[in-house]
Amino acid sequence: MSNKIKLITVATLIALTGCNSKNDSHAMAPVIYQNSQTTYETSLPMMSDVSPAPMPAPIPSKRIVTKRANISVDVDSIDEAKNRLISIVEKSSGLIVNAHAYEKSYNASIKVPSKDLINVLDDIANLGEKTAQSISQNDVTNQFVDNEARLKNLLLFRGKMKALLERTSNIEEIVKIEKELRRVQIEIDSIQGRQNYLKDAVALTPIEVNFKEKRVYGPLGYIANGIWWVTKKLFIIK
């Protein structure tokens, strides 16, 4: 009986040793990733694991609006009105983008701080007789907020990708991560460019200025103009 007990004990120990060897082998096995082109071993997480969770768009405290304006004024002298317009623009810390002077007219595209828009328009109107004026607005709040949220997500994603790059030594992973970082950086630069454009458009309002020199009638001109006015009123009162 003692020999049988010894044989059973030895067999049990061998079986337990075999099981432990299998468990240890499974614990030390490397993680294998496979895509359509290559199969390689790595202890790092897959690229999808570093994708950031979407961040909610921040709620703006006020609407973000861009403006445009047009103004037409009949002036006594084109040269005088042009010089005074330059002073008005400089006083408001604005700029003249382009200008075209003709014999009896002058057109200029200017930009002024949006906070000073109404004051600048009033100053321009005081250069003569205002014949037309308009102000248009464009609400870009949603566009601005969406860009800002996407930019934050991309910056977070870029940070995680850089951290992943520092932890890996696998050449294929390095190439793949660097390619993704270049793509993300291009998108970040593009969104930042759009945001800067919107900020500038909100801060500065473009104004199209049109000056037309008033007609100066001689004695016969006043008479002819008066006759025309009387004749017109015979047909049209208002």
> What's the pLDDT tens digit per position in 118-170?
999 999 999 999 999 999 999 999 999 999 999 999 999 999 999 999 998 99
Phi, psi of 89 (to 5 degrees): -65, -45
Q: Which CATH architecture does the domain made up of 66-135+203-235 adopt? A: 2-Layer Sandwich (3.30)
What is the per-residue pLDDT for 103?
Answer: 86
pTM across the whole model: 0.64
| β-pairing verdict for 105-113 and 95-101 | antiparallel
21 vs 134: which has the higher pLDDT: 134
Helix axes 171-203, 141-167, angle to 10 degrees: 160
Domain ranges of the chain: 2-57+142-201, 66-135+203-235
In the block, residue with structure tokens 């607005």: 137
Using an 8 Å Cβ cutoff, are 136 and 67 in contact?
A: yes
What is the per-residue pLDDT for 45?
Answer: 44
User: What is the rounded distance in angstroms from the CA atom of residue 9 to the CA atom of residue 29?
Assistant: 31
* CA 203 to chain CA centroid, nearest Å: 14
77 vs 8: which has the higher pLDDT: 77
Structural tokens at position 140 = 């870009």
